[in-house]
Structure 1
Amino acid sequence: MMFERIAPEQHDTLDGIPEPAENPVLVGHHEARDALASAYHAGKLPHALLFVGPQGIGKATFAFHFAYHLLSHVDHRLAPKRLVSPDVSSSLFRQIANGAHPSILHLTRPLNDKTKSYKSAVTVDEIRKVSRFLSLTSHDGGYRVVIVDPADDMNTNAANALLKNLEEPPARTLFVLIAHSLGRLLPTIRSRCQIVRFNPLADNEVLAVLGGFDTGLPASETERTELLANASGSPRTAILLTQYGGLEIAGALDQLLREPRVPVAQAHKLAEAVAARDQAIAFSLFNDHALEVVATAATAAARDGEIERAERFSQAWQDLRIAMSEADTYNLDRKQHALNMIFRLHDTLRM
Structure 2
Amino acid sequence: PASSLFRQIATGAHPGVLHLTRPANDKTKSFKTVLTVDEIRRVSRFLSMTSHDGSYRVVIVDPADDMNTNAANALLKNLEEPPARTLFILIVHAPGSLLPTIRSRCQMVRLAPLAADELMAVLENVEPPPPDDPAARAALAERAGGSARNAILLTQYGGLEIAGALDTLVAARKPDIAGAHRLAEAVAGRDQAIQFDIFNRRALDMLSEASSEAALSGDLARAKTLSEAWQEALNTISEAETYNLDKKQHALTMIDRLNSAMRM
Normalized against structure 2, the TM-score is what? Answer: 0.91
Report the equivalent of 2:3.
89
CA shift, 1:183, in A, is 4.0
- CA deviation vs aligned residue, 1:174-227 (integer Å, no higher than 9, x gap): 110112333443343333221111111122211111111221422222222222
Structure 1 residue 250 corresponds to structure 2 residue 191: no
Q: Report the RMSD for the aligned CA atoms in angstroms.
A: 2.0
**Which 4+ stretches in 1 moved above 6 angstroms?**
none
C-alpha contact 2:64 2:98 (8 A) present in aligned 1: yes
User: Could you tell me which amino acid in structure 1 is paired with residue 256 of structure 2?
Assistant: F
Question: How many percent identity over aligned positions?
Answer: 65
Whose helix proportion is higher, 1 or 2? Answer: 2
Secondary structure, counterpart of 1:197 in structure 2: coil
User: Could you tell me which amino acid in structure 1 is paired with residue 166 of structure 2?
Assistant: L
Structure 1 residue 206 corresponds to structure 2 residue 206: no
- CA deviation vs aligned residue, 1:64-112 (integer Å, no higher than 9, x gap): xxxxxxxxxxxxxxxxxxxxxxxx334x334333323222111112233
Secondary structure, counterpart of 2:53 in structure 1: coil
User: Could you tell me which amino acid in structure 2 is paired with residue 89 of structure 1?
Assistant: S
Quick one: structure 1 residues 316 and 188, their matched pair in 2 at CA, closer, same or farther if it must change by over 3 Å?
farther
Higher relative contact order (Cα pairs below 8 Å, separated by 6+ residues): 1
Report the equivalent of 2:70.
157
What is the distance in 1 between the residues matched to 2:15 and 2:156?
A: 35
Quick one: structure 1 residues 116 and 299, their matched pair in 2 at CA, closer, same or farther if it must change by over 3 Å?
closer
Which 5+ residue runs of structure 1 have no aligned equivalent?
1-23, 25-87
What is the distance in 1 between the residues matched to 2:28 and 2:217?
A: 47
Count of residue correspondences: 264
Which 5+ residue runs of structure 2 have no aligned equivalent?
none
CA shift, 1:274, in A, is 0.9
Report the equivalent of 1:339.
252
User: Could you tell me which amino acid in structure 2 is paired with residue 210 of structure 1?
Assistant: L
- CA deviation vs aligned residue, 1:266-301 (integer Å, no higher than 9, x gap): 222211111111211111110010000011011101
Structure 1 residue 325 corresponds to structure 2 residue 218: no
Structure 1 residue 148 corresponds to structure 2 residue 70: no
Normalized against structure 1, the TM-score is what? Answer: 0.69
CA shift, 1:116, in A, is 4.8
C-alpha contact 2:204 2:230 (8 A) present in aligned 1: yes
User: Could you tell me which amino acid in structure 1 is paired with residue 68 of structure 2?
Assistant: N
- Match for residue 236 of structure 1 among 126, 131, 149: 149
CA shift, 1:330, in A, is 0.9
CA shift, 1:331, in A, is 0.6
- Match for residue 31 of structure 2 among 103, 118, 126: 118
Quick one: structure 1 residues 182 and 314, their matched pair in 2 at CA, closer, same or farther if it must change by over 3 Å?
farther
Report the equivalent of 1:264.
177
CA shift, 1:169, in A, is 1.7
Secondary structure, counterpart of 1:343 in structure 2: helix
C-alpha contact 2:30 2:193 (8 A) present in aligned 1: no
